[in-house]
């Protein structure tokens, strides 16, 4: 059984590695075009599937995992910022409000499994930010490759007052759903996923 993570994200690679399974990482050759006509749930799932399919085409005997994350607030979808000004716009929009993080996961299983398509939602409360707060955070350099222009597992945690939902999904990959898929299909994991979620031992998880 060959596992491939279709991702360019170091953080998703790190989270998936917690399962203790050998896997390869291949960056998907996939154009992540956002559609104004899709709901954000449909959007993140379509993008996760697109990533997984683009890799599975060249590796038909592998189990391929794709994932995508976006943020919703007031009917607007927020992905990665295009530049520093866009990052500032996003943080100003989130300031003092609750927004939702949506992470989609798709597993294409050509080894005989049914595959998986699921979306996790995490609600995030951000404290009210001053212009100085935002400029100070932007200066740390975390914003540009993160959906919503902040890193909940990094210095961006200082912007957050509370989260409700799966912390790992907020970071970028809901590991529990993936682990359940593998165990349901007879794959033995070295990680006790339930214990991980109880102990919250990954990065700054306990903070929330």
Active site (catalytic) residues: 68
| Contact criterion met (CB below 8 Å) for 73 and 99 | yes
In angstroms, the CA 53 to CA 55 distance is 5
* CA 83-89-92 angle, 5° bins: 140
Which of 65, 48, 49 lies closest to 13, judged by CA?
Answer: 65
The pair of three-digit structure tokens given for residue 173, joined into one six-digit string: 């990959």
Q: Using CA of residue 162, residue 198, residue 152, residue 165, what is the dihedral sign?
A: negative
């Amino acid at each position: 059984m060959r596992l491939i993570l279709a991702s360019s994200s170091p953080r998703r690679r790190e989270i998936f590695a917690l399962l203790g399974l050998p896997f390869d990482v291949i960056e998907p050759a996939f154009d992540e075009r956002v559609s104004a006509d899709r709901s954000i749930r449909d959007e993140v799932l379509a993008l996760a599937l697109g990533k997984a399919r683009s890799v599975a085409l060249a590796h038909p005997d592998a189990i391929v995992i794709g994932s995508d994350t976006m943020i919703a607030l007031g009917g607007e979808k927020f992905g990665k910022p295009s530049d520093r000004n866009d990052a500032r716009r996003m943080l100003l929009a989130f300031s003092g409000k609750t927004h939702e993080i949506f992470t989609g996961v798709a597993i294409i299983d050509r080894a005989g499994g049914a595959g998986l398509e699921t979306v996790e939602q995490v609600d995030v409360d951000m404290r009210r930010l001053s212009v100085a707060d935002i400029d100070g955070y932007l200066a740390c350099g975390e914003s540009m490759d993160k959906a919503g222009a902040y890193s909940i597992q990094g210095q961006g945690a200082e912007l957050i007052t509370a989260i409700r939902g799966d912390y790992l999904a907020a970071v970028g990959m809901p590991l529990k759903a993936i682990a359940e898929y593998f165990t349901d299909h007879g794959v033995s994991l070295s990680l006790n996923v339930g214990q991980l979620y109880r102990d919250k031992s990954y990065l700054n998880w306990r903070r929330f």
